């Protein structure tokens, strides 16, 4: 029983360290969505630090009973979180950073088996044979954890992607560029020079939709916004769908309809933007932005008409 318990704990230690390394690499090299607590950068940094510390502790073999209990509680909490993500339709559990794994696969292949194995194979309380050896091992574990954890945490917290806020251009040297359309309101449409093709987007009334082909919310929004534009019957209102790379291999939902313009963001950068994002542009000026949710047709029509009247008054 003791040997089986040690094997289980060591396997889970390796799993924790693997997850921490992958998430840490993501945080060191890419921006994160910050849509909710599970994708909030400070929370993810704390998660990486916790997994690193727990993994190192488990490998050390110190305080076996406490380590076993901490691991059981940890994987029980992980199971509850992954179950929630599975129920809410998340495409990835987020456990392994850039490696996307379906939440149900993680739950039934890793986390629940871990909880069951830990419940069955419990460690025995053993006496420490050498106080000096125990102190040396404890000191080594603390030094290793701090040596790895502190610099990694600082590096993850200091990462800053490039940002495009206005027409002055991209700020920062990172290959990843964060787009923050909410900050574009009242300014010229700054991304225009990076859209291929961008014919006529600088003139007239436009509803521009940023979407990614793998985004389930985008697939639901595209037909809805097509219907909204048709229902509103606003003169000279145009609709453009802008695809975020990596592009879809075959023809997209937006491109399939000839009455709407289809474009793509240039693939010479890795763009980071919430999708779907809908932007109202009138004569190259951003007037309104909606992320994921749109108002109904009468409300949207009223916003567009009132914005258009205000622009005319400004020109007079």
On whether both 191 and 152 belong to a single domain, the answer is no
The pLDDT, as a whole number, for residue 316 is 42
Q: What is the pLDDT of residues 184-207, one digit of tens each?
A: 898 898 888 888 876 677 788 888
The pLDDT, as a whole number, for residue 55 is 94
The pLDDT, as a whole number, for residue 308 is 55
Overall number of domains in the chain: 2
DSSP state of 277: E
The pLDDT, as a whole number, for residue 315 is 46
- Of 127, 158, 189, the residue that ends a domain is 158
Confirm if 187 and 167 have CB atoms less than 8 A apart. Answer: yes
Tokens of 176: 């990843």
On whether both 44 and 100 belong to a single domain, the answer is yes
On whether both 13 and 152 belong to a single domain, the answer is yes
CATH number of 173's domain: 3.40.30.10
For residue 263, the SS3 value is strand
On whether both 154 and 228 belong to a single domain, the answer is no
- Of 124, 158, 192, the residue that ends a domain is 158
Tokens of 230: 């048709």
Whether residue 197 has a cis bond before it, omega within 30° of 0: yes
On whether both 11 and 144 belong to a single domain, the answer is yes
Q: Burial-class residue 239 by CB neighbours within 10 Å (0-12, 13-18, 19+).
A: buried
CA dihedral 45, 47, 53, 57 (to 10 degrees): -170
The pLDDT, as a whole number, for residue 49 is 95
What are the backbone dihedrals phi and psi of residue 196, each rounded to the nearest 5 degrees, phi first? -125, 120
The pLDDT, as a whole number, for residue 18 is 95
Domain interval for residue 44: 2-158
On whether both 186 and 150 belong to a single domain, the answer is no
The pLDDT, as a whole number, for residue 35 is 67
Confirm if 279 and 286 have CB atoms less than 8 A apart. Answer: yes
Rounded Cα–Cα distance for residues 95 and 22 (Å):
8
Low-confidence ranges of the chain (pLDDT < 70): 1, 35, 125-130, 198-199, 249-259, 307-316
The pLDDT, as a whole number, for residue 251 is 46
The pLDDT, as a whole number, for residue 126 is 58
Confirm if 32 and 26 have CB atoms less than 8 A apart. Answer: yes
Rounded Cα–Cα distance for residues 165 and 80 (Å):
38
Q: Is 84 left (phi over 0), alpha (psi -120 to 50) or beta?
A: alpha
What Rg do the C-alpha atoms of the chain give, in angstroms? 26
- Of 158, 176, 197, the residue that ends a domain is 158
Residue 158 forms beta bridges with which residues?
none
On whether both 189 and 87 belong to a single domain, the answer is no
pTM of the model: 0.73
On whether both 198 and 154 belong to a single domain, the answer is no
On whether both 17 and 148 belong to a single domain, the answer is yes
On whether both 290 and 191 belong to a single domain, the answer is yes
Confirm if 245 and 195 have CB atoms less than 8 A apart. Answer: no
On whether both 98 and 122 belong to a single domain, the answer is yes
Distance of CA 160 to the CA centre of its chain: 15
On whether both 214 and 306 belong to a single domain, the answer is yes
Vertex 215, ends 158 and 251: CA angle to 5°?
125
Rounded Cα–Cα distance for residues 308 and 194 (Å):
26
For residue 259, the SS3 value is coil
Distances (CA, A) of 51 to 10, 19, 78, 92, 108: 13, 8, 11, 19, 20
């Amino acid at each position: 029983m003791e040997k089986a318990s040690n094997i289980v704990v060591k396997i889970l230690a390796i799993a924790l360290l693997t997850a921490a390394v992958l998430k840490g690499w993501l945080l060191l090299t890419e921006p994160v969505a910050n849509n909710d607590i599970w994708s909030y950068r400070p929370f993810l940094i704390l998660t990486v630090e916790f997994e690193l510390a727990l993994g190192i502790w488990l490998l050390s073999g110190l305080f076996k009973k406490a380590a076993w209990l901490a691991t059981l509680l940890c994987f029980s909490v992980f199971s509850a979180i992954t179950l929630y993500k599975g129920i809410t339709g998340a495409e990835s559990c987020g456990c392994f950073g850039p490696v996307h794994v379906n939440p149900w696969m993680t739950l039934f292949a890793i986390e629940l088996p871990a909880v069951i194995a830990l419940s069955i194979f419990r460690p025995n309380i053993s006496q420490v044979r050498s106080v000096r050896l125990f102190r040396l091992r404890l000191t080594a574990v603390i030094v290793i954890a701090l040596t790895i954890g502190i610099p990694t945490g600082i590096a993850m917290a200091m990462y800053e992607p490039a940002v495009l806020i206005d027409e002055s251009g991209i700020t920062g040297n990172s290959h990843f560029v964060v787009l923050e359309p909410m900050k574009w309101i009242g300014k010229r449409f700054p991304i225009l020079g990076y859209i291929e093709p961008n014919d006529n987007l600088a003139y007239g009334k436009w509803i521009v939709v940023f979407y990614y082909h793998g985004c389930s919310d985008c697939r639901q929004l595209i037909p809805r916004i097509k219907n909204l534009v048709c229902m509103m019957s606003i003169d000279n209102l145009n609709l453009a769908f802008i695809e975020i790379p990596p592009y879809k291999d075959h023809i997209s939902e937006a491109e399939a309809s000839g009455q709407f313009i289809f474009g793509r963001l240039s693939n010479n950068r890795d763009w980071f933007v919430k999708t779907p994002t809908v932007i109202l542009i009138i004569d190259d000026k951003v007037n309104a932005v909606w992320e994921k949710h749109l108002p109904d047709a009468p409300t949207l029509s009223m916003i567009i008409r009132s914005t258009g009247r205000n622009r005319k008054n400004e020109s007079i």
